[in-house]
């Protein structure tokens, strides 16, 4: 899940950088691509490894069909990790996505105002809004359940109630490419 979130943030920033460049992109060099992949995986590893070394722990999630961070432990060690995870693996990637797509939208508006075209700007706006909305729909229910289980009363979230948010969060990696393909005329 974390690699998915971080990858979406890296992709949104890369999309902004690519779309706002005036020169033709260099398609023969994969240096930036590999840097983004390595950065995503390294950042994700840094945030998924601490439970293996004693900062929180992993265990069954929901009804016991998946494994995740132990959301139900109420000690300071576990709570601090989950709060850091929430900030550094949800809030910060989401802020990068909003920043990148916001800047991309501003760049598209500037180009559209010069060319007097509104169609491209509206398509870009729709694509940005759908991507951000899907990100929120996939990850906010999971984050809400996890934070409620961590900070709320014990037993407040029954195991069966955590199944749908977990599935939404784990399936979020497939939505961004689908949205991009269907809403981008260049792909066709």
* Integer Cα distance of 3 and 40 in angstroms: 6
Q: Which domain holds residue 43?
A: 1-183
Task: State how far the alpha carbon of 144 is from the alpha carbons of 22, 120, 123, 164, in Å.
Answer: 41, 35, 31, 12
Task: Please indicate, yes or no, if residue 188 is contained in any of the structural domains.
Answer: no
Rounded to the nearest 10 degrees, how much is the dihedral formed by the CA atoms of 50, 48, 5, 134? Answer: -100
Task: Please indicate, yes or no, if residue 147 is contained in any of the structural domains.
Answer: yes
The helix, strand and coil proportions of the chain, stated in percent and rounded to the nearest 5, come to 75, 5, 20
* Integer Cα distance of 66 and 166 in angstroms: 9
* Integer Cα distance of 78 and 162 in angstroms: 19
* Integer Cα distance of 95 and 40 in angstroms: 16
8 pLDDT higher than 70:
yes
pLDDT digits (tens, 9 = 90+) for 28-83: 668 888 898 999 999 999 999 999 999 998 887 766 777 788 877 778 998 899 89
What per-residue confidence (pLDDT) applies to 13?
Answer: 86
Domain count, the chain: 1
The enclosing domain of 149 has a CATH number of 1.20.1070.10
Task: Please indicate, yes or no, if residue 68 is contained in any of the structural domains.
Answer: yes
Task: Please indicate, yes or no, if residue 152 is contained in any of the structural domains.
Answer: yes
What per-residue confidence (pLDDT) applies to 87?
Answer: 93
* Integer Cα distance of 188 and 184 in angstroms: 7
Task: Please indicate, yes or no, if residue 59 is contained in any of the structural domains.
Answer: yes
What per-residue confidence (pLDDT) applies to 186?
Answer: 62
Q: Which residue has the tokens 């004693």?
A: 54
Task: State how far the alpha carbon of 182 is from the alpha carbons of 66, 127, 131, 136, in Å.
Answer: 31, 9, 12, 19
pLDDT digits (tens, 9 = 90+) for 142-151: 888 888 888 8
Task: Please indicate, yes or no, if residue 71 is contained in any of the structural domains.
Answer: yes
Q: What is the pTM of this model?
A: 0.76
């Amino acid at each position: 899940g974390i690699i998915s979130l971080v990858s979406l943030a890296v992709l949104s920033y890369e999309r902004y950088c690519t779309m706002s460049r005036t020169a033709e992109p260099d398609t023969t060099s994969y240096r930036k691509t590999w840097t983004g992949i390595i950065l995503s995986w390294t950042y994700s590893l840094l945030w998924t490894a601490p439970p293996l070394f004693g900062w929180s722990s992993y265990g069954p999630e929901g009804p016991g069909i998946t494994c995740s961070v132990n959301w139900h432990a109420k000690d300071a060690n576990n709570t601090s990790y989950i709060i850091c995870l929430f900030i550094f693996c949800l809030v910060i990637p989401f802020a990068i996505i909003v920043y990148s797509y916001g800047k991309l939208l501003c760049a598209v508006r500037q180009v559209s105002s010069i060319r007097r075209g509104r169609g491209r700007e509206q398509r870009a706006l729709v694509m940005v809004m759908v991507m951000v909305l899907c990100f929120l729909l996939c990850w906010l229910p999971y984050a809400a359940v996890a934070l409620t289980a961590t900070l709320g009363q014990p037993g407040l979230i029954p195991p069966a109630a955590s199944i749908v948010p977990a599935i939404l969060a784990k399936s979020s990696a497939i939505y961004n490419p689908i949205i991009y393909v269907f809403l981008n005329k260049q792909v066709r």
